[in-house]
Amino acid sequence: MALRTEPIVVNMGPQHPATHGVFRMRVTLDGEVITDLEPVMGYLHRGVEKLAEARTYTQFIPLTDRMDYLSSMSNNLAYVLAVEKLAGVEAPPRAQYLRVIMAEMMRISNHLMAVGTFLDDMGAFHTPLLYMFREREKLLDLFEMVCGQRLTYNYMRIGGLSHDIPPEFLPALKKFVRDMPGFVDEYDQLIRENEIVLARTRGVGVLPRALAINASASGPVLRGSGVKWDLRKTDPYLVYDKLEFDVPTGAVGDIYDRYRVRIEEMRQSVRILEQAIERLPPGEVRSDVPHLVHPPRGEVYGHIEAPKGELGFYLVSDTGIAPYRCHIRPPSLINLTALRDMVLGMKIADAIITLGSIDIVLGEVDR
């Protein structure tokens, strides 16, 4: 005889480090089984799209840092590529290779935090997270060499970069690239066959392939569901079409697959960095672009494969010095919309780690 229980609604959160009080889940429970879930957001809405329309094209670059603050350099890149597309500007070859280097360093840094905090959500009591902070600190040292900042960088410029890399940058980066594969192997050895991790992640938080596509998911969330879609391959930008790398995918679309995709993407980012360092040409790092850019009348959509997925900027120009309209397509928000379908029928603890496996930052969700 089944025990009859009354459904209860529980407000859960914050529990993931990236939610920090501005996100909660309204969960309907039958005992410990989730029968409904609504992500509640909007507490961090800062009107960044309207702020863009009140600033010049160049003045808006630092504000993109504040969206996904764990992938600030990628935010800069997506925006300036959209403006360059609108204005008909192309960055010099050296700047394009340096942009790739910064983007792939940012991808590794993001994935280190994504995997580390996800394992912390599972109850790993900081040990894996601190291991991953160790390598992330080395990347932050490199970013600091380049632009003097460790979190919000403001390094990209319309037409290239604010300035060239210092002499000590490449030797330090080469050392990181040489050492990083061994550290990724170390993480994988600790986690991959851990019986607790396997029990908590395999078959949990499943996002089927068809639903991932219908939900417009992107990045590791989409590729974890077996969809081989990466804008660096399908719509190449910068010099990605000249570099060799693979696109890792999962099979089931569960939490474990999303973890595996991020681990393998770090390996591929190291591979890209090796090639970009070797082929880095001399020359200027910025085209001759006026400080006040006046793009011709028109509209564009520019996008990149950011660490969390497709990050796009839709810009409309009326020939003025600021966008007439700016709209941002953030991967954290789009990927989060599938959360309810991923946890129905699961337990409370499953919802927490499923949210962690999506890898969100609320500054990008609410904007």
Q: Locate the domains of the chain by residue range.
A: 48-342+353-366
Grouping H, G, I as helix, E, B as strand and the rest as coil, residue 132 is helix
Give the H/E segment covering residue 12.
strand 8-12
Domain 48-342+353-366: top CATH class: mainly alpha
Of residues 229 and 128, more confidently modeled:
229
With pLDDT > 90 as the criterion, what percentage of the chain qualifies?
A: 67
The residue whose two tokens read 């210092």 is 166
User: Which residues, in sequence order, are CB contacts of 6 under 8 Å at separation 6+?
Assistant: none
Question: What DSSP character marks residue 151?
Answer: S
Indicate the pLDDT class of residue 128, thresholds 50, 70 and 90.
confident
What are the pLDDT digits (tens) for 250-260? 999 999 999 99
Q: Is the pLDDT of residue 306 over 80?
A: yes
Q: Specify the pLDDT at position 124.
A: 78
Q: What is the DSSP string of 284-316?
A: -SB----SS--PPSEEEEEEEEETTEEEEEEEE
Rounded Cα distance, 351 and 37, in Å: 9
Output the average pLDDT for the chain: 90
User: Which residues, in sequence order, are CB contacts of 247 under 8 Å at separation 6+?
Assistant: 223, 228, 229, 230, 233, 268
With pLDDT > 70 as the criterion, what percentage of the chain qualifies?
A: 97
Q: Is the pLDDT of residue 76 over 70?
A: yes
What are the pLDDT digits (tens) for 311-331? 999 999 999 999 999 999 999
Rounded Cα distance, 192 and 348, in Å: 24
Indicate the pLDDT class of residue 61, thresholds 50, 70 and 90.
very high
Cross-strand pairs, 311:
304
Rounded Cα distance, 241 and 142, in Å: 25
Q: Is the pLDDT of residue 152 over 80?
A: yes
Q: Specify the pLDDT at position 20.
A: 67
Question: Among 97-101, 117-121, 334-338, which range has the highest average pLDDT?
Answer: 97-101
Q: Is the pLDDT of residue 21 over 90?
A: no
Q: Is the pLDDT of residue 7 over 90?
A: no
Q: Specify the pLDDT at position 363.
A: 85
Q: Specify the pLDDT at position 79.
A: 95
Q: Specify the pLDDT at position 18.
A: 63
Say if residues 28 and 9 touch (Cβ distance below 8 Å).
yes
Rounded Cα distance, 63 and 172, in Å: 29
The residue whose two tokens read 């670059």 is 61
Q: Specify the pLDDT at position 2.
A: 62
- What is the arithmetic mean of pLDDT over 56-73? 91
